[in-house]
Amino acid sequence: MKVLFNREILEKSEVTIDMEDRGYQFGDGVYEVVNVYNGIAFTLVEHVDRLYRSAEEIRLNIPIEREEVQQLIIRLINENNVKNGSIYLQITRGVAPRKHQYDSKIKPLLVAYPLPFSDVSNVQQQGVKAITAEDLRWLRCDIKSLNLLYNIMIKQEAHEQGAYEAILLRDGQVTEGSSSNIFIVKDDTIYTHPANNYILNGITRIKLLQLFHQKEWKIKEQPVSKQFLLSADEVFLTSTTNEVVPITMIDEVKINDGKPGSFTRKIQQAFTELVKEEIRG
């Protein structure tokens, strides 16, 4: 495996991280995951733009221009001969003696490496089970930071209950999943939480909203209650690695009689066509 380490591409065995890196000690950094289809990074520009936005929100100055980061990722894909899979990319504030405050002159550390292809076709076809849980995360969920402890805890709880995802509720309203965005279909209208500080505005979410508007499908970006969620005609989750996955059961309540819905199928097909079109173009 070749790894991007700042501006260099090195063998994995050559890369060492200092124990006083603030990403390791504080989770002081941001990250992205970019899908690769047929050797091409899908929505690479959007992911890099969001990386820079997240960095700006935590006052972390990335010392490399966006275009150079994009080119380095493309080079990393080529050097690892990645055909299908993804690239994990993160930047931390850098190395400094351990204390909460930091010197603005710390040098940030950029690392990226390939992740193996994850075949999610089975869950895309069959649908998945989800649980609901209280959303106890901090109030800047729009920043894709390395601080994922609560997400991990609640995802593990879902796993232990035989579920694929946990749908989070803040003040009784659906926000998003522990690692995904949530969409609800009711009476031919698609509902999803607005992109504010309570959710991460997923790249797949953004692309789907654009698609819905192009096709003139009814879409409402507004919070909905747990009761509304459980009475939905269809529910699906979206993320970079999952694309579009039907949710067929929530808290032991069947959605659409426990089967993926026809509208979700239509959305899956439309997204697949979108990916093919963009990686060709």
Catalytic one of 2, 144, 155, 207: 144
Q: Which residues of 32-69 are buried (b: 16+ CB within 10 A; e: fewer)?
A: bbbbbbeebbbbbeebbebbbebbeeeebebeeeeeeb
Q: Supply 130's token pair.
A: 């989800």
Please, how many CA atoms are within 13 Å of residue 114, restricted to the half-sphere of its CB? 26
Buried b (16+ CB within 10 A) or exposed e, 232-252: bbbbbbbbbebbbbbbbbbee
Q: Residue 204 in contact with residue 239, Cβ under 8 Å?
A: yes
d(CA 114, CA 252): 36
Q: Dihedrals φ, ψ of 272, to 5°?
A: -60, -45
Concatenated DSSP letters of 124-139: HHH-EEEEEEE--S-S
Do the Cβ atoms of 25 and 54 come closer than 8 Å? Answer: no
Sign of the C-alpha dihedral, residues 229, 233, 239, 242?
positive
H-run or E-run covering 23: helix 22-26
**Active site annotation includes 144:** yes
How many alpha carbons lie under 13 Å from residue 104 in its C-beta half-sphere? 3
Strands 218-221 and 189-192: what pairing?
A: parallel
Catalytic residues: 144
